[in-house]
Amino acid sequence: MASMDECQQAIEVLAERLSGFDQTHRKKTIPDRTLSLGLLDIDAEFRGRLHEGELVDIHSVEPGGPKADVRLTMTSDDLIALTEKRLSFPHAWATGRVHLDASFRDLLRLRKFG
């Protein structure tokens, strides 16, 4: 089980990775949405926003609260494995290790960045 600090760092790595894509393409492709990441094994949740193609305002919150537009749920170890590229997102999603809840349109737009 990963610590809260390790999870926070992993999320920052994902945000940096997203910013590595072409900025014009990101702004055109990624809609402004609220985002939440629930970590089941440590009963934690992080929230942020996708804004102009970037992941911003990332912070830890109490689990629950308002429903985000895009919701990810996984264990802390799977989050770390994803950021260290030991686990691919498509495989994790297909095998149920990662749960993604978003509109179909958002899924189509975000699939290019997984």
Query: What residue ranges define each of the domains in the chain, with the CATH number in brackets?
Result: 4-113 (3.30.1050.10)
pLDDT digits (tens, 9 = 90+) for 35-70: 999 999 999 999 999 888 888 999 999 998 899 999
pTM of the full predicted structure?
A: 0.86
Q: Are 80 and 2 in contact (CB under 8 A)?
A: yes
- CA 95 remoteness from chain centre: 17
How far apart, in whole angstroms, are the C-alpha atoms of residue 83 and residue 85?
5
Q: What residues contact residue 35 under an 8 Å CB cut-off, 6+ apart?
A: 47, 48, 49, 50, 55, 68, 69, 70, 71, 72
pLDDT digits (tens, 9 = 90+) for 6-16: 999 999 998 88
> Strands 44-51 and 70-74, how do they pair?
unpaired
